Structure 1
Amino acid sequence: MGAWQSLEDWVEEGKSGPWSPSHPSDAQRESMVFLAFAFLVILIFWQCKIPYWYFIEKKKFKTVFFPVLTPFKLLTVLYHELGHAVVGMLTIWYKELWYGIPEGGDRGRIDFIMIDKYEGGLTKFGGDVEPIYSLTLPAGYVGSCLIGCWFLFTGFDAKWSKFGAISLLILTSIATLICFFVKAKSGLINNWYYIISWVYKWVLFNEEKTRKAMRRHENKKAERNESARYRHDNAEGPTEIDLHASQDLIIGCSLFVGLLLTLAWMWDDSIWLRFIMLFMGLLSALYAVWDIILDGIRYAKVAKSDITYMAEEHNRKAKIHNKLNPERRQKRQRSTTFYAILWLFTKTDMIILVVVLGYFVFRKTKVEQAIESREFLPAKFHYGPSDLEEDVRIAGDAFKEGMGNLVGNGS
């Protein structure tokens, strides 16, 4: 209680006094506290698991699935894969325009876009015209980090958080449309009999109907996969039809996040909207950082990820250059860890820069932000203290005007 009270008092101190780097406003203090809290929440629930038992012999935790971050993470992964998809198709169209399509070959295309609840994602290209991988591979990291930094920046101000929320909804709509045009898929329809089997098994306890529903599910799945052109990992692995992101899943996550945005927008002059944008921004920015740490540094020797393929692509080009130009300066081949550390510092610097920029740009107090927020798509419910200050300002202006008229009439 004492620590919490001290924190509240520290935030309250920002309501008055001139702004300075050492004396931030109450809104800025709230943002800093929230970012620290959000970082801990993301760190703890990143894997969507909660440990509840520890095996001493195996030195492992037993966990239970707790998908508190799942809707936000799925959208974050989707933005990452959207970067690959957009840049990849732009480079494919560029190559087709300038070099044409191989005779008898197929145009380049996106076979599928996969996202899953364990922070994974994959954008698979097909056809005989490949994207320029030196641009396509880093596009996911760059895209997710830039999007996250934009959300972070807008989250420091109530009015600007509205711009961030609108861009989030537009971005999600674009991603949904891209997934639809790549391969329209409904997870609900595709897994309908699987859902029915689950109901029979765990609600109605009917084993016979459970097996019957599962057989129908497998038959429907086999029918869909007859036209498949890709198998993931091995000949028995899932197809591009199985892996492709479901529109209803994306829309469901979007509706959930959109509902939160709407409620925060409509309440207290949208000052709570800041926190949603800060959270989404931090999650998107940290996604690329965490992926680089895991796949590029910790599991660099065994993992296959964007950073791994980036290193392979660079080394492939370096070999070709060195072979074709033996008299010129030879290009060095770099390890996955080298690129991981380089990208890690780049993205960390970007996040820090955006936070510092937001700190110095958005200096207004909560009351001032609430009043300014009414200039753009105002909220239905106003922030109480801002109403009081606005009334005082209006009364002061009216008093000055009245006194001016009185003096004018007297003269």
Structure 2
Amino acid sequence: MYNMKANDVLDGTFSSTALHRLLTRDVQSALTPNATQRTTLIVAGCYILVIGILWHIPILSWIIYPFKLLTVGFHEMSHAFMGLLTCAHIHSIELDPDEGGATSMSGGIPYLTLPAGYLGSSLIGAALIACGFDTNASKIASIVLAVFFLFTLWWAKRDWLTWVLILGMSGLIVLFWFVAGGVALRYLVLFIGVMSCMYCLWDIIDDTISRKVNSSDASQFAKICGCCPSQVWGVLWLFVSLIFFIAGVLVGLAAFKESAAQQKEDSSVFLPVPGSSAAMALTVTKSGIVSMILAVVVGLLGIPM
């Protein structure tokens, strides 16, 4: 612990040097990974390596194909939500088997809806990476994803691929929720987050920087802005997406310092696995509370029991 020295105090207040030392110590302490976080970082690094390998092997790339489509879904969903926030009317969301997608809308603010695809999906990925450091946070992230999935299904009423993808991913999330008290869910959420960020970074480089795709979001954005070519916007979006990626890791390190054992204990009482002892105890507790409330109501009404 830092001990304040006499020369650190000037006229009864902290000197700038003392304040700097305190802030540096706090930041360093917050971002220094513990044993559980080191394991999470190693797993995330392995995810990056595996994704990079599978990405370039034609046959094995099918293993991560559903997660690629899910990231495309995040991209289109981000367009739609930004459109919704800017008073646009969302007509439909469609996913293409060739890892493409399209969001049809009218109205809204193109200056916001166009960059929302890449930046929104990378932000979602960063948030999932941060939640992947903690089991309970992963449970909450799964519930939020479920809400997003419902909106997407509403907008993708006639797109069978979107329905198959989301129903399949929902089933996978539920399955992993039951494994090891939610620990498997944490690593699944982490994988989806890493995959989303990696895909977003690669897609920006491929569509806007290394080659120009006239139908890309960056090309459309360059047309309405008229001041810079699409490559410039691609580099800017790449930089912002990379910041999101790094921020997701840093937030995870700073916010979730619990050990694996503590996470397991906390997870056992927070949205526990149905059928577990914690879930049964929670059910009994709820039943007792309901019975007590009914008894009070009956007593107040003077109804004989």
Residue correspondences, number: 249
Partners of 1:277 and 1:363 lie apart in 2 by 18
* Offset at residue 304 of structure 1 (A): 2.9
- Find the partner of 1:274 among 186, 201, 205: 186
Per the alignment, do residues 359 and 109 of structure 1 end up closer, same or farther by CA in structure 2, a change over 3 Å counting?
closer
Per the alignment, do residues 381 and 72 of structure 1 end up closer, same or farther by CA in structure 2, a change over 3 Å counting?
farther
Partners of 2:166 and 2:178 lie apart in 1 by 18
Partners of 1:22 and 1:132 lie apart in 2 by 38
- Aligned partner of 2:41 in structure 1 is 32
Which AA in structure 2 matches 1:308? S
* Offset at residue 379 of structure 1 (A): 2.7
- Aligned partner of 1:252 in structure 2 is 164
Relative to total residues, which structure has the larger helix share, 1 or 2?
Answer: 2
Which AA in structure 1 matches 2:224? E
Partners of 2:71 and 2:235 lie apart in 1 by 22
Q: Aligned with 1:378: secondary structure?
A: coil
Which AA in structure 1 matches 2:149? T
Partners of 2:156 and 2:168 lie apart in 1 by 19
- Does the 8 Å contact 1:269/1:381 carry over to 2? no
Partners of 1:152 and 1:142 lie apart in 2 by 15
Per the alignment, do residues 342 and 78 of structure 1 end up closer, same or farther by CA in structure 2, a change over 3 Å counting?
same
Establish whether residue 123 from structure 1 lines up as the match of residue 103 from structure 2: yes
Establish whether residue 367 from structure 1 lines up as the match of residue 269 from structure 2: no
Task: Return the TM-score normalized by structure 2.
Answer: 0.73
Q: Deviations over 1:317-360 (max 9, x none)?
A: xxxxxxxxxxxxxxxx2122211111111110111012011112
- Does the 8 Å contact 2:119/2:240 carry over to 1? no
Task: Return the TM-score normalized by structure 1.
Answer: 0.56
Per the alignment, do residues 29 and 117 of structure 1 end up closer, same or farther by CA in structure 2, a change over 3 Å counting?
farther
Q: Deviations over 1:39-76 (max 9, x none)?
A: 12222333xx63xxxxxxxxxxxx44742122222222
- Aligned partner of 1:342 in structure 2 is 236
What pairs with 1:56-75 in structure 2 (closer than 5 Å)? Answer: 63-64=58-59, 66-75=61-70
Which AA in structure 2 matches 1:362? F
- Aligned partner of 2:202 in structure 1 is 290
Structure number with bigger Rg? 1
* Offset at residue 256 of structure 1 (A): 2.7
Per the alignment, do residues 255 and 114 of structure 1 end up closer, same or farther by CA in structure 2, a change over 3 Å counting?
closer
* Offset at residue 373 of structure 1 (A): 0.9
- Aligned partner of 1:159 in structure 2 is 136
* Structure 1: runs of 5 or more not aligned: 1-18, 51-62, 94-107, 186-244, 316-332, 383-411
* Offset at residue 156 of structure 1 (A): 0.5
Which AA in structure 2 matches 1:133? P
Q: Aligned with 2:272: secondary structure?
A: coil
Partners of 2:32 and 2:84 lie apart in 1 by 48
Q: Aligned with 1:347: secondary structure?
A: helix
- Aligned partner of 1:304 in structure 2 is 215
- Find the partner of 1:114 among 94, 99, 117: 94
Partners of 1:161 and 1:334 lie apart in 2 by 40
Partners of 1:130 and 1:174 lie apart in 2 by 19
Query: What is the aligned-residue identity percentage?
Result: 34
Moved more, 281-290 or 63-72: 63-72
* Offset at residue 89 of structure 1 (A): 4.9
Partners of 1:275 and 1:358 lie apart in 2 by 13
* Offset at residue 284 of structure 1 (A): 1.8
- Aligned partner of 1:43 in structure 2 is 52
* Offset at residue 165 of structure 1 (A): 1.1
* Offset at residue 179 of structure 1 (A): 1.3
Which AA in structure 2 matches 1:29? R
- Aligned partner of 1:84 in structure 2 is 79
What pairs with 1:170-189 in structure 2 (closer than 5 Å)? Answer: 170-180=147-157, 185=158
Which AA in structure 1 matches 2:78? G
Provide the alpha-carbon RMSD of the alignment. 2.5
* Offset at residue 22 of structure 1 (A): 8.5
Establish whether residue 377 from structure 1 lines up as the match of residue 265 from structure 2: no
Per the alignment, do residues 299 and 147 of structure 1 end up closer, same or farther by CA in structure 2, a change over 3 Å counting?
same
Partners of 2:172 and 2:59 lie apart in 1 by 26
- Does the 8 Å contact 1:77/1:121 carry over to 2? yes
Which AA in structure 2 matches 1:164? A
Which AA in structure 2 matches 1:86? F
